[in-house]
């Protein structure tokens, strides 16, 4: 490998090259990063018609002691369904079973309740008579981990009841129970249980947030791909339905990935997530096109205003109409929204281009600096419409993804740049996240680095999977209610954490082209002004390789300084995966690198990604 360290042959890598794509898929947000523990907290998931399915709520007691149903009596106008519980026992002559009767919510495949931690419970209740409701967090063995009582003599109007519950034990499969031993009718609505220690109190589950933060993403594309489109427009993500007090949000059924979300993780929370990650938000909005229906371009005008309002909500000042709504929600300062994407994978659909052009001119005339991302692929031929970036997605076999490192070699350097907003190895090569997939993806990303004058951004997809709703495999981060691990593809992305804004040096592999090796070299300065050199190599083959490295244009002495390391992602079997049982089977391993210099030999393991790091 010949590395030429001269500035003359170097390229500046965009500050935004590597980021993340968050989609509400696989319960990534609801039951995942969004820390709300109650599933279907407003009883809306069963639909607007009553009686409705209250799943996953269940009844404690039998029909001789209580009748549970739903009606449309909620005090919240946009989500009218409330739960009605008629308690038949507990009156004269009928004693309720020990422990009472009522309802319980198992959360998203179990609530993770941890000893010593506190949980904020909020619920709305109404009754014609006095109430005495026992609230408990109960472990899978029936052990009560926390409890309180709501006793009130007059809740004839809907009343907000709140409590902080402190757990005296740990159980990752707990549930929330609301029970009573008193005869009467009680309505419940908007029952929420949140851990109090979410990231900065912003509602993000700490362990998952930290895993994402550790990727150091430059941007976050949200709230999804297909999730934004919907199978049908009526089920698409509509930002205005996801803001304001959580109790008033209607929630919606994501019909592509088949689950209900209360939209606690709404437009503001996504922007907040970006800010907390130090990442630029990239809002993907629906442009009037779903998988199965489309708004005709002649009637798209109201949708334009909807999106302009959403941009104003994000970045308008606090005196603007929508900026003031944001301010009222607790974020007076504008968010740093610089990019929007018009739709997802919709290029070629009947009204895409017509609608796109309307959105393009409406947004550019109101916000000339906002960069607009088209769904149409401009990698092989110029786009026939104006855009700042074009979206490119690749899901394929390991060989295809590895070979796609060259995909942008011939792409235009003059027109819009590529946003590879979704890439991953899928199918048999990937399983639920194999080393093989990660190697191919690492090779692909090295190809993107080398083409950083044609590619401005890239993100892996999907980011998250709740192991109980694995709709899409593989994913970068796997979790359940209490634990999480990174797949090899997650760890592979750590090799690129310093690439954003770095300098790409010219590097050449000989013999060239090599079918199973790909390499790049970057330099960057850290916050203390120390200069670093990193050489990354993917050995996609099954043989170990002794790589002779020759570095030209860099002081020998600087290379010999201490602290040189070799970090390797590999495993004995290329199909190895991580798991809850063995979460660190395939993770980067760092060792000291000796005998460094302008000329050096480094042994690359079969099937490996290697990073050689030098402090200059």
> Should residue 538 be labelled a site residue for ligand AHR when binding is judged by CB under 6 A?
no
Q: Is 540 exposed, middle or buried (0-12, 13-18, 19+ CB in 10 A)?
A: buried
Shortest Å, Cβ 535 to ligand AHR: 31
* Contact window for ligand AHR (CB under 6 A) among 222-230, 516-524, 548-556, 577-585: 222-230
Shortest Å, Cβ 362 to ligand AHR: 24
Alpha-carbon 579 to chain mean position: 20
> Should residue 462 be labelled a site residue for ligand AHR when binding is judged by CB under 6 A?
yes
Q: Closer CB to ligand AHR, residue 44 or residue 231?
A: 231
Task: Give the span between the Cα atoms of 108 and 174, in whole angstroms.
Answer: 10
- Segment (H or E) for 307: helix 301-315
Alpha-carbon 440 to chain mean position: 22
Assigned token pair, 117: 């931690």
Name the residue with the smallest CB distance to ligand AHR: 225
3-state secondary structure 87-133: ECCCCCCCCCCCCCEEEEECCCCCEEECCCCEEEEEEEEEECCCEEE
Shortest Å, Cβ 149 to ligand AHR: 45
Shortest Å, Cβ 593 to ligand AHR: 37
Q: Closer CB to ligand AHR, residue 61 or residue 462?
A: 462
Answer positive or negative: Cα dihedral of 498, 501, 502, 508.
positive
Shortest Å, Cβ 20 to ligand AHR: 12
Q: Closer CB to ligand AHR, residue 428 or residue 543?
A: 428
Residue 9, SS3? helix
Q: Which of 245, 243, 251, 265 has the alpha carbon at shortest distance from 323?
A: 243
Q: Closer CB to ligand AHR, residue 422 or residue 568?
A: 422
Assigned token pair, 118: 């506190």
Query: Are the C-beta atoms of residues 452 and 11 closer than 8 Å to each other?
Result: yes
Q: Closer CB to ligand AHR, residue 23 or residue 255?
A: 23
Alpha-carbon 106 to chain mean position: 23
> Should residue 225 be labelled a site residue for ligand AHR when binding is judged by CB under 6 A?
yes
Shortest Å, Cβ 439 to ligand AHR: 20
Binding ligand AHR (rule: CB under 6 A), the pick from 96, 146, 226, 337 is 226
DSSP one-letter code for 433 = T
Instruction: Tell me the CA distances in angstroms from 184 to 80, 101, 451, one per residue in order.
Output: 22, 12, 69
> Should residue 391 be labelled a site residue for ligand AHR when binding is judged by CB under 6 A?
no
Binding ligand AHR (rule: CB under 6 A), the pick from 171, 346, 422, 480 is 422
Binding ligand AHR (rule: CB under 6 A), the pick from 255, 345, 469, 480 is 345
* Contact window for ligand AHR (CB under 6 A) among 91-99, 223-231, 295-303, 590-598: 223-231
Q: How far apart are the first and last CA of the chain?
A: 19
Residues 126-155 within binding reach of ligand AHR (CB under 6 A): none
Q: Residues in contact with ligand AHR, total (CB under 6 A)?
A: 11
Task: Give the span between the Cα atoms of 573 and 544, in whole angstroms.
Answer: 14
Q: Closer CB to ligand AHR, residue 325 or residue 461?
A: 461
Residue where the block lists tokens 């394929």: 396
Q: Closer CB to ligand AHR, residue 89 or residue 461?
A: 461
Q: Closer CB to ligand AHR, residue 16 or residue 344?
A: 344
DSSP one-letter code for 588 = -
Shortest Å, Cβ 314 to ligand AHR: 22
Q: Which of 447, 440, 612 has the alpha carbon at shortest distance from 541?
A: 440
Shortest Å, Cβ 476 to ligand AHR: 11
Other CB atoms within a 10 A radius of the CB of residue 116 amount to 9
The neighbouring-strand residues paired with 82 are 71
Buried b (16+ CB within 10 A) or exposed e, 14-44: bebbbbbbbbbbbbbbbbbbbbbbbbbbbbb
- Segment (H or E) for 445: helix 435-450
Shortest Å, Cβ 73 to ligand AHR: 37
Shortest Å, Cβ 121 to ligand AHR: 34
Task: Give the span between the Cα atoms of 348 and 246, in whole angstroms.
Answer: 37
Task: Give the span between the Cα atoms of 455 and 509, in whole angstroms.
Answer: 22
Q: Is 468 exposed, middle or buried (0-12, 13-18, 19+ CB in 10 A)?
A: middle
Binding ligand AHR (rule: CB under 6 A), the pick from 17, 461, 574, 602 is 461
Shortest Å, Cβ 484 to ligand AHR: 19
Q: Is 616 exposed, middle or buried (0-12, 13-18, 19+ CB in 10 A)?
A: middle
Shortest Å, Cβ 291 to ligand AHR: 10
x/- site string to ligand AHR, residues 4 to 23, per CB under 6 A? -------------------x
Q: Closer CB to ligand AHR, residue 195 or residue 223?
A: 223
Q: Closer CB to ligand AHR, residue 125 or residue 394?
A: 394
Query: Are the C-beta atoms of residues 187 and 16 closer than 8 Å to each other?
Result: no
Binding ligand AHR (rule: CB under 6 A), the pick from 344, 351, 459, 608 is 344
> Should residue 466 be labelled a site residue for ligand AHR when binding is judged by CB under 6 A?
no
Q: Which of 536, 592, 522 has the alpha carbon at shortest distance from 561?
A: 592
Task: Give the span between the Cα atoms of 252 and 228, in whole angstroms.
Answer: 12
DSSP one-letter code for 18 = B
* Contact window for ligand AHR (CB under 6 A) among 74-82, 164-172, 224-232, 567-575: 224-232
Shortest Å, Cβ 223 to ligand AHR: 10
Shortest Å, Cβ 219 to ligand AHR: 16
Q: Closer CB to ligand AHR, residue 255 or residue 345?
A: 345
Task: Give the span between the Cα atoms of 160 and 126, in whole angstroms.
Answer: 9
Q: Closer CB to ligand AHR, residue 50 or residue 397?
A: 397
Binding ligand AHR (rule: CB under 6 A), the pick from 472, 479, 495, 496 is 472
Shortest Å, Cβ 166 to ligand AHR: 39
Q: Which residues bind ligand AHR (CB under 6 A)?
A: 23, 25, 224-226, 344-345, 422, 461-462, 472
């Amino acid at each position: 490998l010949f590395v030429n360290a001269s500035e003359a042959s170097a390229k500046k890598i965009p500050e935004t090259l590597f980021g993340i794509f968050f989609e509400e898929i696989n319960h990534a947000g609801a039951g995942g990063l969004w820390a709300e523990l109650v599933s279907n907290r407003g009883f809306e998931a069963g639909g607007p018609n009553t009686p409705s399915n209250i799943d996953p709520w269940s009844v404690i007691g039998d029909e001789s002691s209580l009748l549970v149903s739903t009606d449309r009596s909620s005090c919240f106008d946009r989500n009218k369904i409330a739960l009605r519980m008629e308690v038949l026992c507990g009156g004269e002559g009928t004693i309720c079973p020990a422990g009472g009767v009522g309802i319980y919510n198992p959360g998203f495949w179990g609530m993770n309740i941890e000893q010593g931690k506190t949980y904020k419970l909020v619920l709305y209740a109404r009754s014609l008579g006095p109430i005495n409701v026992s609230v408990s967090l109960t472990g899978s063995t029936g052990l009560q981990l926390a409890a309180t009582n709501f006793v009130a003599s007059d809740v004839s109007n809907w009343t907000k009841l709140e409590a902080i519950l402190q757990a005296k034990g740990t159980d990752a499969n707990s549930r929330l129970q609301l029970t009573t031993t008193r005869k009467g009718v009680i309505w419940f609505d908007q029952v929420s249980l949140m851990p109090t220690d979410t990231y900065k109190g912003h509602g993000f589950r700490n362990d998952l947030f930290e895993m994402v933060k550790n990727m150091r993403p430059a941007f976050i594309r949200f709230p999804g791909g297909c999730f934004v489109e919907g199978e049908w427009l009526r089920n698409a993500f509509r930002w205005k339905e996801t803001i304001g007090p959580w109790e008033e949000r209607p929630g919606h059924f994501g019909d592509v990935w088949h689950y209900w979300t209360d939209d606690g993780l709404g437009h503001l929370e996504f922007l907040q997530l970006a800010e907390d990650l130090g990442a630029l938000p990239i809002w993907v909005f629906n442009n009037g096109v779903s998988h199965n229906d489309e708004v005709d371009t002649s009637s798209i005008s109201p949708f334009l205003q909807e999106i302009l309002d959403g941009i104003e909500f994000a970045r308008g000042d606090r005196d603007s109409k929508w900026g003031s709504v944001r301010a009222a929600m607790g974020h007076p300062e504008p968010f740093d929204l610089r990019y929007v994407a018009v739709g997802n994978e919709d290029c070629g659909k009947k009204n895409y281009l017509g609608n796109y052009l309307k959105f393009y001119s409406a947004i550019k005339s109101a916000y000339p600096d906002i960069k607009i991302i088209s769904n149409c692929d401009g990698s092989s031929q110029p786009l026939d419409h104006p855009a700042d970036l074009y979206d490119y997605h690749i899901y394929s076999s390991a060989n295809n993804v590895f070979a796609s490192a060259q995909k942008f070699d011939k792409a235009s350097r003059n027109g819009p740049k590529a946003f590879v907003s979704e890439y991953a190895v899928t199918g048999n090569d990937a399983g639920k996240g194999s080393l093989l997939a990660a190697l191919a993806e690492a090779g692909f990303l090295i190809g993107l680095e080398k083409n950083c004058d044609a590619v401005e951004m890239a993100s892996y997809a999907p980011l998250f999977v709740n192991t109980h709703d694995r709709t899409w495999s593989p994913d970068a981060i796997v979790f359940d209610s209490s634990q999480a691990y990174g797949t090899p593809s997650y760890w592979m992305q750590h090799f690129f954490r310093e690439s954003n804004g770095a300098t790409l040096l010219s590097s050449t592999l000989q013999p060239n082209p090599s079918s199973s090796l790909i390499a790049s070299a970057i330099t960057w300065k850290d916050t203390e002004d120390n200069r670093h050199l990193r050489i990354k190599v993917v050995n996609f083959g099954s043989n170990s390789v002794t790589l002779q490295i020759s570095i030209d244009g860099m002081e020998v002495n600087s290379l010999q300084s201490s602290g040189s390391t070799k970090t390797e992602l590999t495993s004995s079997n290329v199909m190895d995966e991580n798991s809850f049982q063995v979460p660190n089977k395939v993770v980067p391993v760092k060792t000291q690198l000796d005998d460094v210099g302008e000329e050096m030999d480094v042994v690359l393991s079969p099937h490996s990604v290697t990073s050689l790091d030098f402090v200059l």
